[in-house]
Amino acid sequence: MRPHTAGIIHSHTSFSDPALRNKPGRIQMTEMKYPVQLKLRIDWSELDLFGHVNNVSFFKYIQAARVHYWEKCGLTALHKKSNIGPLLAFCSCDFRQPLFYPGHITLYSRMEFIKNTSFGIVHKLVNQKDITVAEAKDVMVLFDYTLHQKTSFPKTLKAKIEKLEGRTF
């Protein structure tokens, strides 16, 4: 990551046009296991002028799921112990269906990849009717906040994630 881009959050949004579904750059979720789940209540304050949940709220849901995954895999504990933690480099969301109040949303999350200093988490957002309303992807860099530089992914953390996911990376 170039120093001048550190800490910048990039976001990409798009709508679920069937003609665009298989285009390069589109998120293509497979029916893989999502070991981490988070259920959230839709709040009336999240609605926009058109009566559905505003797209900004989707990114708040994704953030909640991201942090929940960090807690489940031990990344939050690593940060508290060593000041090494994630730095969000990229977040994208493909919107499939609108969300409405009242209701709830369940976010299913799994690790997509682990590289030397970066990793990715994908999320599937599902409404109370079990319909996928959005799919999201995060790319993060593991960052040493004391030295102010990216750092290698610890083998112990990778092992915890592999146990959580039930697969190897």
Q: Is pLDDT of 35 > 70?
A: yes
What per-residue confidence (pLDDT) applies to 31? Answer: 53
Packing angle between helix 55-73 and helix 155-165, nearest 10 degrees? 110
Q: Are strands 84-95 and 11-14 parallel, antiparallel or unpaired?
A: parallel
Is 87 within a domain? yes
pTM of the entire predicted model: 0.82
Is 99 within a domain? yes
Instruction: Give percent helix, percent strand, percent coil of the chain, each to the nearest 5.
Output: 30, 35, 35
Question: Could you tell me which residue, 140 or 28, shows the higher pLDDT?
Answer: 140
Is 8 within a domain? no
Is 81 within a domain? yes
Is 78 within a domain? yes
Question: What average pLDDT score do residues 131-155 get?
Answer: 98
Is 158 within a domain? yes
What per-residue confidence (pLDDT) applies to 36? Answer: 98
Task: Say how many domains are in the chain.
Answer: 1
Encode pLDDT of 50-84 as tens digits: 999 999 999 999 999 999 999 999 999 999 999 99
* 57 Cα distance to chain centroid: 13
Q: How many other C-beta atoms lie within 10 A of the C-beta of residue 81? A: 9
16 falls in which pLDDT band (50, 70, 90)?
very low
CATH assignment of the domain containing 85: 3.10.129.10
Encode pLDDT of 77-123 as tens digits: 999 999 999 999 999 999 999 999 999 999 999 999 999 999 999 99
Q: Is pLDDT of 48 > 90?
A: yes
Is 9 within a domain? no
Is 71 within a domain? yes
Range of the domain at 105: 33-165
Say whether 18 sits in a helix, a strand or coil: helix
